[in-house]
Amino acid sequence: MSAMANKSFDLELINRVSQFYYKEARLLDERCFQQWLGLVDNEIEYSMPARFVPQANPELQDTEAFLGTDQELERAKGGQGSPLRFDGHLATFVRTYRPFKTTAWAESPAPRTRRFISNIEVEPLEDNSYRVYSNFQMFYSHSGTDNHTYTGGRRDLLKEVDGEFRIFKREVITDWDVITVPSLALIF
């Protein structure tokens, strides 16, 4: 296969994955949570690790790991801290049906959101799965309160099942140093 044919395959894959993410953002912004749930696998793992400011590790000095953002997540991942969220399928299901309840004060009236997804990188793995990195920005407005902007990155594991992508794993990495937003119960 020529290098050009291989490149067009990559562009096609990136386009398909990008379109999947744009559709996902639209479904969430239009509050089509039941349809969104159809994009995730029954074994989904949805996490949002807490970030912290690590002490400098002199052993890593002069390497990229010295400044790496993964160090800011180690404590939450290593069991020494608590993640902001760690949901399986049941918790994700409950989270998507909560807005339909009149007793869900954080969801009633429904907040207005607008998601922007960018910087999509696709890394093919084996057996029709893909590691995907993306950035997000989300505008949030709710019931006459201050407007908020959420930003961060996502690390996903997508699998292609019967020609359709499914989200098997999502790790949301926020950019905040101090959390000042009204809710983390949103789907990023």
Residue 65 covered by a domain: no
Q: What is the pLDDT of residue 77?
A: 52
| Phi and psi torsions of 26, nearest 5° | -65, -45
Q: What is the pLDDT of residue 19?
A: 98
Residue 78 covered by a domain: no
Torsion (CA) 135, 180, 28, 187 in degrees, nearest 10:
80
Signed CA dihedral, 138, 119, 170, 21: sign only: positive
Positions of the chain with pLDDT lower than 70, given as ranges = 1-9, 54, 67, 74-81, 105-106, 108
Q: What is the pLDDT of residue 4?
A: 44
Q: What strands lie across the sheet with 148-161, from one edge to the other?
A: 85-87, 40-48, 164-174, 148-161, 129-141, 112-124
Tokens at residue 73, please? 């997540």
Q: What is the pLDDT of residue 2?
A: 43
Q: Structural domain tally of the chain?
A: 1
Residue 29 covered by a domain: yes
Structural contact between residues 165 and 39, judged by C-beta atoms closer than 8 angstroms: yes
What residues are paired with 57 via a beta bridge? none
Residue 169 covered by a domain: yes
Residue 51 covered by a domain: no
Residue 120 covered by a domain: yes
Residue 16 covered by a domain: yes
CATH code of residue 115: 3.10.450.50
pTM as predicted:
0.83
Residue 184 covered by a domain: no
Its domain, for residue 10, covers: 3-46+96-174
